[in-house]
Amino acid sequence: MQLYNKLSAIERAALIDEAGKDRLTISFYQYHQIENPQIFRDKLFLEWDQLDVLGRTYVANEGINAQMSVPADNFLQLKEQLDAISFLKDIRLNVAVEQDNKSFLKLKVKVRNKIVADGLNDNTFDVTDIGVHLSAEKFNDMLADPNTVCVDMRNHYESEIGHFDGAVTPDVDTFRDSLDIIEEDLKDNKEDKNLLMYCTGGIRCEKASAYYKHKGFKNVFQLEGGIIEYTRQVKDEGVENKFIGKNFVFDHRRAERITDDVVSNCHQCGEPSDEHVNCDNQACHLLFIQCTACSEKMNTCCSEDCKEVAALSFEEQKELRKGKGNSNKIFKKGRSDVLTFKK
Ligand SMILES: [Zn+2]
Ligand SMILES: [Zn+2]
């Protein structure tokens, strides 16, 4: 019985090409008390592996958070399989706007302490006492209300390339940081203003809305299904779109374009750009925004230093990394002194 992913990304990509079948990128989450996450995890892995599902899923005592791709032909089978799990019956599956057969190249199902690293002690407040869910249309109505403060619950590198018109976009690196900053900013308006929040797929707002209610906010609302579901409703139901730019996503696609507006700038030259890249020096891997011209000039590196390293052979690079404490920049997201035009 195989319980873990065994193929490399390259092997998997070749298999996807060979199969020549369309895949759907979908996501869902559910907060629900799961007695034995490990058993549940193993069951999911076995079933999903059979359906050729790929992706990244977290299972914890508090629930499940799944992002995956599935062959379109197997979608109904997946849906049936999820419906057979009592707390996932009829769960809303967020389907990505832009499809990419290689959005995920491995099947990873992991047991974690939490399904979102929110940094909160859940025993201190009632996590089930959440805000009011709003459809895209209702969200637009409330966004237009002068008595509303709309807050983007995502991190700085996400909201930078796209956000709702007029939303507050906290300059934060973590979800936990944004909670405190927003509370401080709105502390005099806990009872009179509408606190309207949104995130990528809705999961962060589930916890945030409960937290703010616990902190004394009286009118707490959240976009159901996040930007992904909002965009679907805009497309399928003709709701007016108020989101500008790109929706940052956590798979190989990096982002979905929602409108043609470019709301951010290249971090190297300052020209309009909303293309996220990871620095090509593997020891750096910094996530930042780089326009095509700079990408060509810099070989997709964040700095001259990294450009030099990236030009070395694999062996030379490995030698360079040996024993050095320079891994601190790996996976650092969007912040570095070398980025002149990062605001
Ligand atoms: Zn540039
Ligand atoms: Zn770099």
Quote the ligand 2 centre to 86 CA distance (angstroms): 47
Q: What length does the chain have?
A: 343
Mean pLDDT, rounded, for 237-255:
94
CA 123, CA 114: separation in Å to the nearest integer? 13
Tell me whether residue 199 is one of the annotated catalytic residues: yes
Longest distance between any two alpha carbons in the chain, whole Å: 62
What is the amino acid identity at position 2? Q
Q: Supply the DSSP symbol for 88.
A: G
CA 191, CA 316: separation in Å to the nearest integer? 60
331 has pLDDT over 60: no
Quote the ligand 1 centre to 107 CA distance (angstroms): 35
Phi, psi of 94 (to 5 degrees): -75, 120
Ligand in nearest proximity to the CA of 300: 2
Mean pLDDT, rounded, for 337-342:
86
Active-site option among 199, 291, 294, 302? 199
Cα–Cα nearest to 271, from 309, 297, 306, 241: 297
Q: What is the mean pLDDT of the chain?
A: 92
Per the rule left: phi > 0, alpha: psi between -120 and 50, beta: everything else, 172 is beta
Ligand in nearest proximity to the CA of 297: 1
Quote the ligand 2 centre to 313 CA distance (angstroms): 16
Quote the ligand 1 centre to 290 CA distance (angstroms): 5
Other CB atoms within 10 Å distance of the CB of residue 308:
12
Q: Supply the DSSP symbol for 337.
A: T
Quote the ligand 1 centre to 269 CA distance (angstroms): 4
Ligand in nearest proximity to the CA of 303: 2
| Residue carrying the six token digits 């992913």 | 5
Q: What is the pLDDT of residue 330?
A: 46
pLDDT tens digits along 275-311: 999 999 988 999 999 999 999 999 999 999 999 999 9
| Residue carrying the six token digits 């912040």 | 335
Ligand in nearest proximity to the CA of 265: 1
Quote the ligand 2 centre to 308 CA distance (angstroms): 10
Q: How confident is the model at residue 323 (pLDDT cuts 50, 70, 90)?
A: low
Ligand in nearest proximity to the CA of 331: 2
Quote the ligand 1 centre to 293 CA distance (angstroms): 6
Mean pLDDT, rounded, for 258-275:
97
| Residue carrying the six token digits 């990505």 | 96
Q: What is the pLDDT of residue 36?
A: 96
b/e per residue 203-237 (b: at least 16 CB within 10 A): bbbbbbbbbbbeeebebbbbbbbbbbbbbbbbeee
pLDDT tens digits along 172-209: 999 999 999 999 999 999 999 999 999 999 999 999 99
Quote the ligand 1 centre to 263 CA distance (angstroms): 14
Residue 146, classified by CB atoms within 10 Å of its CB into exposed (0-12), middle (13-18) or buried (19+), is exposed
Other CB atoms within 10 Å distance of the CB of residue 193:
17
Mean pLDDT, rounded, for 261-271:
97
